Amino acid sequence: MSLDVTLQTDPGLISSDPIEEARRQIEICNACRYCEGFCSVFPAITREKVFADGDITQLANLCHNCRGCYYACQYTAPHEFDLNLPQALAAARTDSWERFAWPGGLARIFQARGEALAAALVVGTALMFAAIAALPGDGAGFYAWISHGAMVAIFLPAFLLPLFAIGIGLRRYWSEVGGVRVAWADLRDASLSAGRMKNLDGGQGQGCNFEKEERFSDARRHVHHAVMYGFLLCFASTSSGTVMHYVFDMQAPYGFWSLPKLLGVPGGILLTVGCAGMLMLRRRADPALGTPGRSSGERGFIWLLGFAGFSGLVLYAVGGTWLTGPVLALHLGGVLAFFLLTPYSKMAHGFYRFAALVRDAQDQRVRADV
């Protein structure tokens, strides 16, 4: 067997191309290997000797930006090797989402620019105000403001179209990283890792180096948990409402002790608190270790997600008053913008990250079988 060493780069040749630059840095990491115990990225690196473009994309998406490797690295600037692996992988990762997004071009705008997300929120809200004005309902609760039929007509496509777009992006991802048929064990391993944010725990539970430089902290893992589980609870709340409506013919509004509320209220609180915490941590973190040029879009996404959660809580609080209408428009406008932008905003990271974890589990399993 021979090795394709033409893939190797000169360690001193810093590149402006995200994949080339990530490859240069990964090769230096593979010759060092001191960081092996921090996360899944380094063991995956040591399984290769040279790195094709698909390998770089996979490693970039496996990285959770915990930054442990950066603070432990003896080759960071001003060393001539100028290693900044968290940044290099973040750049390659974002680049991959923007390449895979369908239709192309949309992702670059929303990944990069917070204003674009804000504009989407305004448009979404305006649409909802218009819908409420044009299509008032005659039901109880929200349905007094907008008919159930109108809600479904708007949100069913707003939910399915982005999912379809994400599906196309994931297919492109899977093909680039050389993924094979997924086994249940791969999904289980990936879920266990994502569910605990294993790759933010520093390898030994000490946490990551996101906001306190070389000191370890679990803050980011905890706020990410709040956002992720908050979001999943909110999603479960909506799903339970749908099931109750269509399967059990139980119409909204639901009381506090109903499933949608029992899931949605804690979900909204977690989402709001988590997004606020994430924004606070980002203020303390060194931006030079994140994705170059994507900070505005990333912050904008957290604001949008937090807004959707918070406005949902407010909506519940103002229930029955005249404020319900305007707050409903704001909340649904936020949710609409969030859904439609899922394939093109930072939200896409959840899907690609999970795919990378599945691929990593698969790669380990396949090699162990050989």
Residues that bind another protein (CB under 8 A): 1-3, 5, 8-11, 27-28, 30-38, 43, 46, 49-50, 68-69, 71-81, 203-204, 206, 214-215
Those residues with Cβ within 8 angstroms of residue 283's Cβ, 6 or more apart along the chain or in another chain: none
- 29 contacts 69 by C-beta, under 8 angstroms: yes
* Nearer to another protein (CB atom), residue 71 or residue 229: 71
* Nearer to another protein (CB atom), residue 5 or residue 370: 5
* Nearer to another protein (CB atom), residue 24 or residue 331: 24
Minimum Å distance from CB 203 to another protein? Answer: 6
Give the tokens for residue 59.
């490693």
Minimum Å distance from CB 358 to another protein? Answer: 23
DSSP per-residue letters across 221-290 = HHHHHHHHHHHHHHHHHHHHHHHHHHTS-PPSPP-TTSHHHHHHHHHHHHHHHHHHHHHHHHHHS-GGGS
Q: At which residue do the structure tokens 């094709």 appear?
A: 52
* Nearer to another protein (CB atom), residue 67 or residue 93: 67
The CA-to-CA distance between both ends of the chain, in Å, stands at 16
Minimum Å distance from CB 92 to another protein? Answer: 19
Minimum Å distance from CB 48 to another protein? Answer: 8
Q: How far apart are CA 41 and CA 60, in angstroms?
A: 8
Minimum Å distance from CB 33 to another protein? Answer: 5
Give the tokens for residue 173.
């991802």
Q: How far apart are CA 89 and CA 79, in angstroms?
A: 19
* Nearer to another protein (CB atom), residue 22 or residue 166: 22
Minimum Å distance from CB 281 to another protein? Answer: 19
Give CA separation, 290 vs 48, 119, 127, 219, 285, in Å. Answer: 25, 24, 34, 17, 9
* Nearer to another protein (CB atom), residue 50 or residue 244: 50
